[in-house]
Amino acid sequence: MKIGILTGGGDAPGLNAVIYALTRICTYKFNCEIIGYKFGYRGLYENNFVTLTPQSTSGILHKGGTILFSSNKDNLFDYLVDDGNGNMIKKDVSDVAVANMKKEGVDVLVVLGGDGTLTSARDFARKGVNVIGVPKTIDNDLASTDVTFGFDSAVNIVTENLGRIHTTAESHNRVFVVEVMGRNAGWIALLSGIAGSADVIIIPEIPYSLDKIVEKIKQRDAVGKNFSIIVVTEGAKEKGGQAVIGKVVSDSPDPIRFGGIGAKIAQDLEPLIEHEVRSVALGHIQRGGDTSPADRILSIRYAYAAANLIAEKKFGNMVCLKNGRMDSVSLEEVIGKPKIVAPVNELVNAASAMGISFGA
């Protein structure tokens, strides 16, 4: 059997770990040949691939990013191509990808990605391609699995940076607003905020009131804590307001780019309190660096589960983690089902009981 692997969407720690483990398991246990398409679905369209072996993937288990590169702009069912007259038009070129796989003798396509990437995986499955999905996103916002690889690494990175910001905030009696990734899901802010001793956590699921943030800071001032740390998810919004959009891009299936909520809160907050307020957007730092040990292990578990689905010919499914055990779910059931933070749950309740404000 010949297996093709591609990584789509934003990069995430753990992609290389899945490639590493899947290559070894499929080579040693199932005697398969493996290739990797470069730059996600674009590589599938251009038939741009490399052969993957235990030797060529040696040393990548711990590394962030992806040796296959990635793209979050290439939907082959709505792909930007030249019409032959110098004009760029959107066109369904998925048949070209299917023909390329047949040409190379690829029996199974393993797709590592989030909701957008897995949507195309489902669409290829509908065309008769043998597809296996592996869930990836640092945002942890896929409802069909308990946790996605990349999330633990991102939480670790944000928590470490909150510790660094904490020392400078305390030294200058400042308030820092730290903007983190997550889009419309507040998981990164919630877990890193709790672990990193934040004083206020602002997430999209709980719209904030500026008055409540001011109240929390003044409470801290009253007991001699003359600095505060606020963690905010990029997609958060004020009560009655809208999320702050950094820009809108035209060449992506997901054109909305959040950004700027941290700076907005800082600007709105400073006139209301007796502190300098600084904002920090951690940005792509959250995606970079080495993969955490927990994400390495999770990635290996996902890879092993994916290899077993291939061996059992259970195509059209995504591997998932349910109640601590590896399982699978149909790609048809995965798409369009985000996992967001419930405004009332154990972690929110625990954080509130410790005195952390959610600005509400």
Angstrom distance (rounded) from CA 194 to CA 338? 22
139 is catalytic: yes
Distance CA 229, CA 310 (A): 47
Report, in angstroms and rounded to the nearest whole number, the Rg of the chain calculated over CA atoms: 22
Would you state the torsion angle of the CA atoms of residues 188, 292, 109, 40, taken in this order, to the nearest 10 degrees?
70
Cα(49)–Cα(145) distance, integer angstroms: 29
Half-sphere exposure of 116 (CA within 13 A, CB side): 19
Q: Which of 139, 152, 199, 295 is catalytic?
A: 139
Q: Which helix (H) or strand (E) holds 92?
A: none
* Torsion angle of C-alpha atoms 159, 165, 166, 169, degrees rounded to 10: -160
Residue 16: partners with Cβ closer than 8 Å, 6 or more residues away:
57, 60, 61, 62, 63, 64, 65, 66, 67, 291
Q: Is 39 helix (H, G, I), strand (E, B) or coil?
A: coil
What amino acid positions are annotated as catalytic residues? 139
